[in-house]
Structure 1
Amino acid sequence: MTTAPVGTFCLVLHSHLPLLARHGRWPVGEEWLYQSWAHSYLPVVATLRELAAEGRTGLATLGVTPVLAAQLDDPYCLRGAHDWLGDWTLRAHSAAGRLPELAAHEHRVSTAATAEFEAHWRHGGSPALRALRDSGAVELLGGPAAHPFQPLLAPRVRGFSLRAGLADHALRLGSRPAGIWAPECGYAPGMEHDYAAAGVERFLVDGPALRGDTALARPVGDSGVLCVGRDLDVTYRVWSPRRGYPGSPEYRDFHTWDHASGLKPARVTGRRVPSEAKRPYSPELAAGAVQRDARDFVDTVVARLHALRSASGRPALTVAAFDTELFGHWWHEGPDWLAAVLRLLPAAGVAVRTLGGAVSDGLVGDPVTLPECSWGSGKDWRVWTGPQVADFVSRGDDVQRALLSAVDTVLPGSGPLLRRDVRDPLADLLVDQALHALSSDWAFMVSKDSAADYAHARSATHAGRVGELSGLLRAGRRRAAERRSAHWDDARSPLFGHVDARDLAAPPTTPG
């Protein structure tokens, strides 16, 4: 006799990095991309593929933003990542005389990462992700192009960005996603109707948007589109603003460096222990902590699902959602912890499902009305609209007005200039630069004081280009627009091959 599961657990991982300056360098830049690729994307995908080979399905729901998907498929970035992996091994060897145990560990990890890259990633991230999806191991989520904070976009721009992102996902991965991880989990009332019009069936919100009632997916109003809430009681067990497993003494310390090699030689040791007093990293100690914390997490999930079922009288759902970069990049042992958890949960009587699988299992409740929300500080919009970023909000409004005005001039809804059968490369370039300018990352960096100067510079650069190019196009000065944009070395080809300005143009008018 089959025992009914205690409840259902969904793991959601969201992969996103800010737009690079078309392969230019900034305080994190390509280095951040390659670190995350080597330490998170490679081992997380390898872990899920290994679990799938054991016959396990529905392991995780993966969101990869169009921004990152483009970078993971880009030939320049692929070459750079391979070079970075080789340099990692060389750095490990360079430390062998001073830190022999650490060097040996880094040699094993770096050569395994290189082998993983060469076997599964040389043709880009899309084939690696498609193989996972096609095996039934994961569900893939999509999202709007260029990661905008959607509530601040004009309806036409917002709809266009979403359609472009979904089209880019289909182009790379062979099918349009049924669900999205909205950038920053940003939501404004009415956006569910945009989602319905674009064919989006479900999206993620943070738990407080549902007042903590995250036990079921819920239709938003009368749209038929489902929202699924992140369960903070479970998610924060791993990573919260104040604590979580990665801060345990046995794990590798992210912030302590051996500057000669660029390796990280220490374990956390203690929260208030200065870097120079931290103990050497021990993979054996860390491996024991992984098993301890995996069991604790499984116990937490089981207790949570029992409590939810007792309260509602029906099977319940708990969703733990994280940035993918936590696993491996920020938390060195994170991929091993994921593997342990995903093996232990079914043994504890918990059904592991993707978001789509949970919906198919009937874990859907009554309709809900959502407030304005995000997953940022305060769970409102303050990170992207607060006084510290008022200039970004104003600049974003200007960018959208200039964009729409130029597109409606170049690609009007009616009249002799209508050429919807032919793409306009200058209009496409204008849209590409506007999407760059409207990325949510710039305001986030300023609000969190993380590379704020870079964010200001990037936002202003792209906004300035939009204003200049828009003015030239509206004046009919195409030759001048071509000459001017020819000097933008980082913008010679659009980031997203599926960005087509014709889809942003106003609908053709019907003669009266």
Structure 2
Amino acid sequence: MNDQYCLSLVLHAHVPFVREPDYPRFLEERWLFDTLLETYIPLVTIFERLDAERIPFHLGLVISPTLSHMVQDPLLLERFLEYLDQRIVFGLSEVDRTKHDSNLNRLARMYYDRVVEAKALFSGRYEHNILKALDFYQKKGKIELLTTAATHAFLPFYTSYPESIQAQIEVAISSHRSLFGRLPHGFWLPEAGWHPALDEYLRSYNFSYTIVDTHGLLLGKPTPIKGTFAPIRTPNGLMVFARDLHASRAIWDPDIGYPADPVYRDFYKDIGYELEQSLIDPFLEPNGERTPTGYKYWAITQRGQQSKDLYNPDIATERIQFHVKSFLKDRIQRLQDAEHITGEKGISVCAYNADLFGHRWFEGPQFLEVLFREAAKMDNLSFVNPGTYAHKINQEELQKEMPEFSSWGMNGYAETWLDASNDWMYPHLMRAIERMIELAERFPNDGGLKERTLNQAAREVLLAQSADWAAIQHGGLSSAYARSIVEECIQNFTTIYDSLGSNYISTEWLTQLERKHNIFPDINYRVFRKKR
């Protein structure tokens, strides 16, 4: 590793918990279905091709416990297959509708073929189990699977409640171990949300490292002498990497990032909003609201141009080649510049949300595949899993530092998850956490129906803590649904709390709630007990 510059690619895979069994279909469940089809299945197929051709690839992949549960849920899997069938049937109609326009027809066939192939892979080779496919490449040492907080809670908000943070971490570890048969070395901070108090928690659960946003490390105390091109070691011995700012901007920036290039496919312009209503009946909500079909025929196009250009996959592929070479050249140049100052070859940590690749950025999976193929030709650069890098370097030589409170949200701190749109939630959340701790202390050894009830109470508190609900309200899209979920979870918990106080719980009501909010089936409510 000493004679090469190191890149560590880390993708964070997470979807909010949405499961509505009382409805025949539910729009927000498509958050999972879209990313399965457009991001996670393509990722596995990339791994297969690279592995078959012996092209080296290494990356870290964060699988949130929430996502892990959802991709194994029989109801959601059944609905995902129905969703694929819906896309296939619609695709056939689109191929027929566009048969007199060769350019549109080519795109319609491309989308149709992709869905057919995805269904064949998912149902056949992957046996409806995308986690098993990912674990296969972890066992081969190609990818490293990290975990994150159980329900993706923004942990800095809960430092006054140690039991809450411990519950989020313990449930996550238990879920990861039951799925993959091993303990994770790395912990992904939800929304890159770091607070100095988290140092002690992560080390106490034996995590080796975590990743903070760029400014979190640079503003730490003392200032890191090697910048973000080397990890630091906290007072408790936790290794902390920082995201490469320029690598982040190259992909993430909405104005100058690669996905904003005019030749790439437009994410927003979908024929579900353009065709006659009679042609898109399968994609209409019960209230008549139009939804995306996944059939998008237009390029982003130069700003200011009145009409959109037709999307051309060949031109997009050429641009991918250019952007990959530009990305690698820039990473090496900045690592070389850092080496001139520090005298050591460093590491560039390139961390992103996984759904950017494929779901948001259609060409994203292609970018990743070409990235590994091009890097394989280079003698002075290698991709490395973050855990492998952490294991091989001498940690005693790392600078001791405490990173500053930070995140990767708007303006880099916490306003995405705490502003006028979502601040109403937190008094109710904090009260529920206090009461959950009280219940765990009051009923330490209960079993039977009472234990079931307490376990469900823990689920409701954890689900309400998800940072997704605050972020969705902040963004304004599906904000009514996000608010309703928090209100529902808090109300469910309050009902349980009051019922335990009166020593009566409706078994029928509890069973229905367990059926709907069935996440973490093996949860033990005692994770909320005080640690003595």
Deviations 1:375-429 (A, max 9, x none): 1112112222334322122121111022122222222xxxxxx348998111101
Q: CA deviation at 1:108?
A: 2.4
- Which stretch has the larger CA shift, 263-272 or 359-368? 359-368
Partner in structure 2 of residue 284 of structure 1:
314
Partner in structure 2 of residue 264 of structure 1:
296
Does the Cα contact within 8 Å between 2:209 and 2:390 map onto a contact in 1? no
Cα gap change, 1:36 to 1:360, in 2 (>3 Å): same
CA distance in structure 1 between the aligned counterparts of 2:64 and 2:22, rounded to whole angstroms: 20
Partner in structure 2 of residue 82 of structure 1:
81
CA distance in structure 1 between the aligned counterparts of 2:361 and 2:319, rounded to whole angstroms: 12
Partner in structure 1 of residue 38 of structure 2:
39
Partner in structure 2 of residue 381 of structure 1:
414
Does the Cα contact within 8 Å between 1:445 and 1:452 map onto a contact in 2? yes
- Which stretch has the larger CA shift, 286-295 or 345-354? 345-354
CA distance in structure 1 between the aligned counterparts of 2:213 and 2:10, rounded to whole angstroms: 12
Q: Does 1:168 align with 2:170?
A: no
CA distance in structure 1 between the aligned counterparts of 2:520 and 2:175, rounded to whole angstroms: 7
Deviations 1:104-146 (A, max 9, x none): 2112222221222123433422211211101111000001211
Alignment of 1:218-229 (within 5 A): 218-220=232-234, 222-229=235-242
Alignment of 1:465-504 (within 5 A): 465-477=492-504, 480-488=505-513, 490-491=515-516, 494-504=518-528
CA distance in structure 2 between the aligned counterparts of 1:160 and 1:459, rounded to whole angstroms: 18
Partner in structure 2 of residue 139 of structure 1:
144
Q: Does 1:18 align with 2:53?
A: no
SS of the counterpart of 1:351? strand
Of 298, 303, 324 in structure 1, the residue corresponding to residue 354 of structure 2 is 324
Partner in structure 1 of residue 469 of structure 2:
442
Q: Does 1:460 align with 2:487?
A: yes
Q: Does 1:152 align with 2:157?
A: yes
Q: What amino acid is aligned across from residue 45 of structure 1 in structure 2?
A: V
Partner in structure 1 of residue 117 of structure 2:
112
Does the Cα contact within 8 Å between 1:57 and 1:136 map onto a contact in 2? no
SS of the counterpart of 1:318? strand
CA distance in structure 1 between the aligned counterparts of 2:301 and 2:88, rounded to whole angstroms: 26
- The sequence identity of aligned pairs, in percent, is 22
Q: Does 1:237 align with 2:254?
A: no
Partner in structure 1 of residue 49 of structure 2:
50
SS of the counterpart of 1:488? helix
SS of the counterpart of 2:153? coil
SS of the counterpart of 1:384? coil
CA distance in structure 1 between the aligned counterparts of 2:503 and 2:111, rounded to whole angstroms: 58
CA distance in structure 2 between the aligned counterparts of 1:77 and 1:424, rounded to whole angstroms: 27
CA distance in structure 2 between the aligned counterparts of 1:374 and 1:224, rounded to whole angstroms: 21
Partner in structure 2 of residue 73 of structure 1:
72
Q: How high is the TM-score relative to the length of structure 1?
A: 0.91
Cα gap change, 1:156 to 1:300, in 2 (>3 Å): same
Partner in structure 2 of residue 102 of structure 1:
107
Q: Where does structure 2 lack aligned partners over 5 or more consecutive residues?
A: 99-103, 220-226, 281-292
Deviations 1:197-255 (A, max 9, x none): 112111111111012821112112x2111111111111211221433111112111111
Cα gap change, 1:471 to 1:256, in 2 (>3 Å): same
Q: How high is the TM-score relative to the length of structure 2?
A: 0.88
CA distance in structure 2 between the aligned counterparts of 1:179 and 1:62, rounded to whole angstroms: 10
Q: CA deviation at 1:475?
A: 3.1
SS of the counterpart of 2:422? helix
Q: What amino acid is aligned across from residue 188 of structure 1 in structure 2?
A: H
CA distance in structure 2 between the aligned counterparts of 1:181 and 1:131, rounded to whole angstroms: 21
Cα gap change, 1:457 to 1:421, in 2 (>3 Å): closer
- Which stretch has the larger CA shift, 418-427 or 7-16? 418-427
Q: CA deviation at 1:309?
A: 1.1
Does the Cα contact within 8 Å between 2:428 and 2:490 map onto a contact in 1? yes
Q: CA deviation at 1:461?
A: 0.8
CA distance in structure 2 between the aligned counterparts of 1:357 and 1:308, rounded to whole angstroms: 22
CA distance in structure 2 between the aligned counterparts of 1:269 and 1:326, rounded to whole angstroms: 19
Q: CA deviation at 1:273?
A: 3.7
Q: Where does structure 1 lack aligned partners over 5 or more consecutive residues?
A: 412-417
Q: CA deviation at 1:486?
A: 4.0
Partner in structure 2 of residue 414 of structure 1:
none
Cα gap change, 1:489 to 1:504, in 2 (>3 Å): closer
Partner in structure 1 of residue 197 of structure 2:
190
Q: CA deviation at 1:356?
A: 1.0
CA distance in structure 2 between the aligned counterparts of 1:23 and 1:304, rounded to whole angstroms: 51
Q: Give the paired residue count.
A: 494
CA distance in structure 1 between the aligned counterparts of 2:151 and 2:389, rounded to whole angstroms: 29
